[in-house]
Structure 1
């Protein structure tokens, strides 16, 4: 039996091997074994492999190995990685960063949803490798804030997902702006929806490496199909499946339902966060960080996370809502059993969904006998495993009730009322603080200062003793601050 080659055997430089070892990566995965000899030699590579197979390192290592920091120039990167989603771009950069740093290379990300100014600053400072989503990258190209004429290696990751999202026209324009003699690495699970046209146009005599069949499920993944009698049984089952002690991802079809379920689980003592297209980039990053560091054990997501989330040790993926097509099922499921780890996948099926789900699983190559279950079924209890202690959210503090302001008695002969401060504003000399109610009268139109109206309080009168005080200065017209207490004068 042939021994498994090491990274050194594949030609990976020692500084990169040391960086990988520090992160606990000591031996290459099959797709890396297949592609690295060719990609490190500068050949164009077409890599096909299932999700979670180690493709990110397969192209990160050649980028960090073959690019030279000595050629760095402002706004002219030498390495380019295109990714379909912000989450995937962020995680590619996180994988690439330590390897690049070992060679003195700088990495930056470019995608929408965040301030462009920071990206401009990073480009002007000189970034060797740019990890980008097509939309924002094209914006910067149109503004002439970045040039791709120095790109030596261009990588297209998740090309089939790019096609699903309608990004191929933009990807075509971007790749056309890179030098024709540069190296191109394209990784995709399938070659449909126009990906094959990209291969023919931009890859020169590519070496193809296919580690698995395009739609093959991960071997270390165990699939379960749970039939439930109705919505109430499903709700209890979801709560039970989410209660385990390891990380779990629950997939929903709509943004609203994802947000709602995350709140319900958190209220029930299972810390959860949501991930969907309605969140700002900062909120996405914050929720992913909480899921990654264990602050939240459950991530409730729409299909936006099917390819963009690469978190280790996800023990269970639950299709709370079965996806619409089989490729989405495989990519959702691929969030578990990553990098050789084992994992379980559950699909919850209502009676009216049984026919469609059966067709979907057949197309995905999944053969599993459905089980009729409730939350208390033995098969569910066994799958959930150790139940984590509930962490009930802290109760929100009741809003503070502001006590009515107390008016101090006026000093006789003084032009100031009380302490000189009334409500939120300060009463000036000769001004009635209480009559002003802070800095403005409430509900009253401006009144002429010609002479006081005996049936209405004059804002320039000192009501202590009922005598009018001379107005020493023009009253301010600022409105009473919101929330400032209303103080009634006592004549």
Structure 2
């Protein structure tokens, strides 16, 4: 099995250092994010090379994504042949729309509890600490707290460490090198640490043994990001809880995120989430990564992009040359 980023795989295949002669399967994992980073041409080239080089005949190509926006559907039509779509979701209700030809639905257990709660910026960590204590009363398991920027992640990890003196709280964000990230993950897997405070970098591609609670200390930027965050809990048939804290400055953002969520991920509405004061709302954007409120700093999107450098300052996706870290981002 070979696992790699599209750019690196293309280099190795092009130089003849990686043979695809015995390839049987090609899997495009996290397809929506992979394609949003501008890798479509590389992905198509790799799939075509695998089909051309495979000695065993036809290969099977699979595309996996927690969300399935229009751009991913378009790519599926370009790189897959006669595809069958398999949706894994809670049981369909009688009034659900009928399936289209070629679609299959596997019913998931749907054991996650989705909750939203009104709070303020000054009180969010106290409320989060109380929820974490309750979730971790029994041995084992862990909690993931999502924040909008790298600076907030560091500060909140320190603060939660003070509020939870009997728990080791560890941060995870994009500026950490691979060795530090691995140390953090090892602590979580062996139970040394049970509280992870992270940016959306932890929303994809990490596998923790038992996430009992996901806390959105900041509302996610998009519905897709919310789905990926929420998917850290209630995995492999286990239960879990997904808790969104809604501060007055982020109510408009939450309204937009809520509209894009599938029905089974909607928490019951809070008493105050509809009370939107547009004068204090934080602007949409991936955040600067420096903890500065985008409204107060006068910028919507910044050069930092989401978690440090995934998107350019103009808000457009950049597809320049050069390769990034473990997610294979091109800048």
Task: Place the TM-score, normalised by the shorter chain, in its bin.
Answer: 0.5 to 0.7
Deviation at 1:317, TM superposition (A): 0.2
Residue 133 of structure 1: aligned partner: 5
Deviation at 1:142, TM superposition (A): 4.6
Residue 39 of structure 2: aligned partner: 167
On the 8 A contact 1:225/1:368 being kept in 2, the answer is yes
Q: Please show how residues 354-393 of structure 1 align to structure 2 within 5 Å.
A: 354-364=251-261, 365=263, 366-370=266-270
Deviation at 1:158, TM superposition (A): 2.2
- Unmatched 5+ residue regions in structure 2? 53-57, 91-104, 273-331
Aligned length: 242
SS where residue 346 of structure 1 aligns? strand
Deviation at 1:212, TM superposition (A): 3.1
Structure with bigger RCO (C-alpha 8 Å, 6+ apart)? 2
Question: Greater CA radius of gyration, 1 or 2?
Answer: 1
- Unmatched 5+ residue regions in structure 1? 1-128, 373-491
Q: Please show how residues 238-249 of structure 1 align to structure 2 within 5 Å.
A: 238-243=128-133, 244-245=135-136, 246-249=141-144
Residue 183 of structure 1: aligned partner: 60
Query: Residue 152 and residue 167 in structure 1: after superposition, are their counterparts in 2 closer, same or farther (change >3 A)?
Result: same
Query: Residue 202 and residue 358 in structure 1: after superposition, are their counterparts in 2 closer, same or farther (change >3 A)?
Result: closer
Query: Residue 193 and residue 284 in structure 1: after superposition, are their counterparts in 2 closer, same or farther (change >3 A)?
Result: farther
SS where residue 317 of structure 1 aligns? strand
User: 141, 149, 152: which one pairs with 1:257?
Assistant: 152
SS where residue 338 of structure 1 aligns? coil
Residue 295 of structure 1: aligned partner: 192
What's the Cα RMSD here? 2.5
Residue 67 of structure 1: aligned partner: none
Deviation at 1:267, TM superposition (A): 4.1
SS where residue 263 of structure 1 aligns? helix
- Mapped to 1, the partners of 2:131 and 2:267 lie a distance apart of 22
Query: Residue 191 and residue 371 in structure 1: after superposition, are their counterparts in 2 closer, same or farther (change >3 A)?
Result: closer
CA displacement 1:394-434 (0-9 Å, x = unmatched): xxxxxxxxxxxxxxxxxxxxxxxxxxxxxxxxxxxxxxxxx
CA displacement 1:428-452 (0-9 Å, x = unmatched): xxxxxxxxxxxxxxxxxxxxxxxxx
SS where residue 181 of structure 2 aligns? helix
TM-score, length of structure 1 as denominator length? 0.46
Determine if the alignment matches structure 1 residue 349 to structure 2 residue 226.
no
CA displacement 1:3-52 (0-9 Å, x = unmatched): xxxxxxxxxxxxxxxxxxxxxxxxxxxxxxxxxxxxxxxxxxxxxxxxxx
Query: Residue 144 and residue 256 in structure 1: after superposition, are their counterparts in 2 closer, same or farther (change >3 A)?
Result: farther
On the 8 A contact 1:247/1:314 being kept in 2, the answer is yes
Residue 220 of structure 1: aligned partner: 111
